[in-house]
Amino acid sequence: MSKYGVTHRLATAYHPQTSGQVKISNRGLKHILERTVGERHASWSEKLEDSLWAFRTAYKTPIGCTTYKLVYGKSCHLPIELEHKAYWALKHVNFDLKTAGDHQKLQLNELNELRDQAYDNSLIYKEKTKKLHDSKIKNHVFNVGDQVLLFNSRLKIFSGKLKTYWSGPFTITQVFPYGTIELSQPEGPNFKVNGHRVKHYFREDIPQLVVLDLQTFPMDK
């Protein structure tokens, strides 16, 4: 692979951030399973269908409706409600194909409008979340020669809750526009990282010695 200039990178198994939407959905489903399974952790597969039903019929703030309604265009009903309303629906249509066809077209139009509204709601929610996130970010000023610690997200895959995720210290050799900085290390080439992943190093901050895997960072040629 190196012969053709191809850099090998791990996929979503070790980099969940590349599949953020799936991770968020799985997290919500996991919380439901934790509450329904209780102490019988091995029986999670027996409760999966009920958990999926609860997840799909729960109101989602980002889209402004349930995922069930987003797919089928109506709220989910219990089996007893379906049985009660089934005869009424047939009687209302009266087996008239034209009436049934017009009603179906109306439902499809309403479903498209619902999905467009859900898309707009998701954009508004993301914008609000971004503003809240950006308001909590401190604007750090880095200069050439400063010593910093680097946040290494790969360390999260190892056990040890009290283990530090910060490695270093490294020295800043160059500061680029839009928050990118170049770091140097005692043994190895320089590499570039996003400024949000580093913090100033002080003598009191003594991180655990960690050997970086430089394959995760773009290297200067």
pLDDT (mean) for 153-163: 54
Mean per-residue pLDDT of the chain: 74
Q: Please, what are the domains in the chain? A: 16-135 (no CATH), 147-214 (2.30.30)
pTM for the model stands at: 0.44
Confidence of residue 91 (pLDDT cuts 50, 70, 90): low
Specify whether the CB–CB gap between 70 and 82 falls below 8 A.
no
Q: What is the 3-state secondary structure (H, E, C) of 131-188?
A: HHHHHCCCCCCCCCCCEEEEECHHHHHCCCCCCCCEEEEEEEEEECHHHEEEEECCCC
Amino acid in position 20: G
Which residues, 6+ apart, have CB-to-CB distance to 189 below 8 Å?
214, 219, 220
Rounding to the nearest 10 degrees, give the CA dihedral for residues 126, 127, 130, 131.
-150
103-119 confidence digits (pLDDT tens): 778 878 888 888 888 88
- Please give the C-alpha separations between residue 124 and each of 66, 84, 129, in angstroms, as whole numbers: 17, 38, 9
Per-residue pLDDT for 30 more than 80? Answer: yes
Contacts of 160 (CB under 8 A, 6+ apart): none
Distances (CA, A) of 164 to 28, 71, 136: 27, 43, 22
Q: Residue length, the chain?
A: 221
Q: For residue 215, what pLDDT band results from cuts at 50, 70 and 90?
A: very low
| CA torsion through residues 170, 174, 176, 182, sign | negative
